[in-house]
Amino acid sequence: MKKIAFSIISLALVSTSWAQPLDRSIRPQPGPAPEIKLGKTESFTLANGLKVFVVENHKLPTISCSIQLDVRPELEGENAGYRDMMSELLLTGTKNRSKDKLNEEIDFIGARINASDEGMSGSGLKKYQDKIFDLMSDIATSAVFTQEELDKARKQTLSQLETEKNEPDAMLRNVTATINFGKSHPYGEVANDESVKKISLQQCKNYYNNYYRPNVAYMAVVGDVTVAEIKPLIEKYFGKWEKADVPVATYSTPVNPSITHVSFVPRQAAVQSVINVTYPIDLKPGTDDVIKARVANTVLGGGSQGRLFLDLREKHAWTYGSYSTIKEDELVGSFTAYAKCRNAVSDSSVGAILDEMHRLQNEKVAPQDLQNTISYISGNFAIGLEDPSRVAQYAINIERYHMPKDFYTNYLKNLSAVSSDDVMMVARKYINPDKANIIVVGSLKEVADKLVKYSADGKIDYYDNYGHPIKPEAKTAAPSNMTAVEVMKKYITAIGGEKAINGIKDIKIVSSSEIQNIPLTITEMKKAPGKYKETVVGTMNGQSMPFQKQVYNGTKGYQEQQGQKADMTADDLEEVKVQADIYSDLHPEKYGITRTLTGMEKVNGNDAYVIEASLSSGKKMTEYYDAKSGLLVKKLQSANGPQGPVTQVSEYADYTEVPGSGGYKVPYTVKEGAGAQILTAKVQSVEINKGVADAEFE
């Protein structure tokens, strides 16, 4: 054995000695793209028109099924949002099963079933495949919508909309949709409070009856199955699904911008801007440019190795990340470059995005950068092929979008053939910084004016969070006879006067609120000469659960959250001292509070005095006092969020006199917002001088 081994080694050395010397300065050329074998996909069509695609995968004893509706429904119009509600309504019961019965049967077999206006999906163990098909067919053919469930879905939607009103990415998404596509296109319709309130039960029923039909549906079945065994089941459960003529709407064609223009969405108390450089494009699935455009986009901003990320984050540290997308679509596609950055560098970030777009149009991508990009996309494509559901989706795409039959089979081959010239060609065709919508959500005061230079017509259009044009209110000068001292005197008089305030020895306020559908009870207590307590208790499954607690006994204090208790820091104590003092507005100098009247602005359509206040610690806040009533209506102050500093916005309304208080008034509605979180508290009871025990503050 040793002699044979020696001979093999010698042969290897001899053959090497005859080879040409290796020049290690030259990178080896990539080999030919591998041939893609998507796996066996079999298909058949039921008599009612349902097109079924089956992909066998016997690695696990599971099955998954998805149904996709290929429809072009009518515009939602003034009832925008009702299609989104279908996701809730479709699972609220059928003619054969109540909501509870439906949920019980799904849970019993450990399955997952989801539904929406565009189709449904179900998955679970193979041994329950009959039941999964039974449940899905029942939903597809016999769903029942009730007013009670619509009202629940409406309430949930309105709560979500309330949360999104000052959430920057939601605001950006809404306005981008409106500007890019227009409200006469389904991609440009945006739900708002008024449209959701107008949604009727009949509209939801009409959509279900008109569009949930098998002759416009594609079904993908993936898992431990064969066509021979699954076809009879699908015929059994879906063969009676009645086909019908499905309406096909026509939409307007979105208009591409003729110049680069800036649109701005003022966001109160913004410390960051979110940016889209965007516009619609004509790029259909399966066309020749799709793969080339994907390469170009990956070079520009397809990930952490994209030029936008490397420039805006790695080089300048302006943002956590900056990315771009090129989206192909049957109706209309889109290009978008995105960034989130500090106020001070918002204009610079926009400039950098435009520069990188220009660069891709005018400079060829270096060969090695191009090859790295192609390798990255190839790897992601190969990983995707490991998911049988992806393979089934590819089969549906080819059928649904009339794509070339070999589009995915030749994907890697065509990808490897993309050249630097191809990238430049598609960049000039689809990545156009000279005809773009620049949309920014951020601080009107700190950011807007700096963006004018990027608008070709020298103008900026302003929108609210739903994409409605607005005229932003500018701060105006306050009357010459008004000062911060006079504003505070008017406020003290408005809430009852010094006598009423000085008469308070203790006060307890109980409010109710809700967060993520969890009812909250908020209890706030103060006792002279400077004790404070606040608790937030949630109710889940009928059980009370303490969420937060803050206690200050006049000397020291602690905070507790979800069982974690910590002593207050020096900064915390500085703030809570002011909060605990019932009379703090009467003697602000005690805490080093200074106030300056800086002008007037509109708050909820009414004139308000704007006061900049600061504590001795250096912490600043902005207060807004209604010019007519004198009441505090809004306050802005810094807070710490998950990703750094955010501005907390507090709004006060419904001031009501407390019985037996000598005229003292408190706001019965308080809205608190920080980042994406918004909490609206409604006062349920106020007790003054009822003897709050000292033990509460221990």
Tens of pLDDT along 446-504? 999 999 999 999 999 999 999 999 998 777 899 999 999 999 999 999 999 999 999 99
Can you tell me the distance from the alpha carbon of 278 to that of 344, in angstroms, rounded to the nearest whole number?
22
- Estimate the crossing angle of helix 129-142 against helix 99-108, to 10 degrees: 160
Which is nearest to 256 in space by CA: 436, 440, 460? 436
Tens of pLDDT along 336-389? 999 999 999 999 999 999 999 999 999 999 999 999 999 999 999 988 888 888
Mean pLDDT of all residues in 644-659 = 87
Can you tell me the distance from the alpha carbon of 149 to that of 161, in angstroms, rounded to the nearest whole number?
18
The domains found in the chain, sorted by start residue, are: 41-164+182-238 (3.30.830.10), 261-462 (3.30.830.10), 484-697 (2.50.20.10)
Tokens for 461?
């259009």
Q: Which pLDDT score is estimated for 33?
A: 55
Can you tell me the distance from the alpha carbon of 450 to that of 248, in angstroms, rounded to the nearest whole number?
45
What is the chain's percent helix, strand, coil content, to nearest 5?
35, 30, 35
Q: Which pLDDT score is estimated for 1?
A: 31
**Which position has the higher pLDDT, 570 or 550?**
550
CB atoms within 10 A of CB 351: 14
- Whether residue 83 has pLDDT greater than 60: yes
pLDDT over 90 percentage in the chain: 79
Can you tell me the distance from the alpha carbon of 607 to that of 596, in angstroms, rounded to the nearest whole number?
17
Q: Which pLDDT score is estimated for 41?
A: 83
Confidence of residue 323 (pLDDT cuts 50, 70, 90): very high
Range name among 39-48, 306-315, 522-531 with the lowest pLDDT average: 39-48
- Estimate the crossing angle of helix 367-384 against helix 420-430, to 10 degrees: 80
Can you tell me the distance from the alpha carbon of 505 to that of 692, in angstroms, rounded to the nearest whole number?
9
Q: Which pLDDT score is estimated for 19?
A: 35
Mean pLDDT of all residues in 210-234 = 95
List, in order, residues 6 or more apart from 683 with CB less than 8 Å away: 509, 510, 511, 656, 666, 667, 668, 669, 670
Relative to beta strand 506-515, strand 272-281 is unpaired
- Whether residue 2 has pLDDT greater than 50: no
Q: Which pLDDT score is estimated for 656?
A: 97
Q: Say which residue the tokens 């058949």 belong to.
A: 44
Average pLDDT taken over every residue of the chain? 90
**Which position has the higher pLDDT, 637 or 4?**
637
Q: Which pLDDT score is estimated for 697?
A: 95
Confidence of residue 645 (pLDDT cuts 50, 70, 90): low
Longest dimension (CA), the chain: 110
Range name among 11-20, 319-328, 665-674 with the lowest pLDDT average: 11-20
- Whether residue 597 has pLDDT greater than 70: yes
Can you tell me the distance from the alpha carbon of 297 to that of 376, in angstroms, rounded to the nearest whole number?
12
Task: Calculate the alpha carbon distances from 671 to 268, 411, 525, 667 in Å.
Answer: 14, 53, 19, 10
* C-alpha dihedral sign at 372, 375, 376, 377: positive
Q: Which pLDDT score is estimated for 302?
A: 93
- DSSP label at 93? B
Answer yes or no: are the C-beta atoms of 149 and 94 closer than 8 Å: no
Confidence of residue 641 (pLDDT cuts 50, 70, 90): low
Q: Which pLDDT score is estimated for 8?
A: 25
- Whether residue 316 has pLDDT greater than 50: yes
Tokens for 647?
């501005």
Q: Say which residue the tokens 């993520």 belong to.
A: 516
Q: Which pLDDT score is estimated for 299?
A: 98
- Whether residue 32 has pLDDT greater than 50: yes
**What's the predicted TM-score (pTM) here?**
0.82
Mean pLDDT of all residues in 415-423 = 97
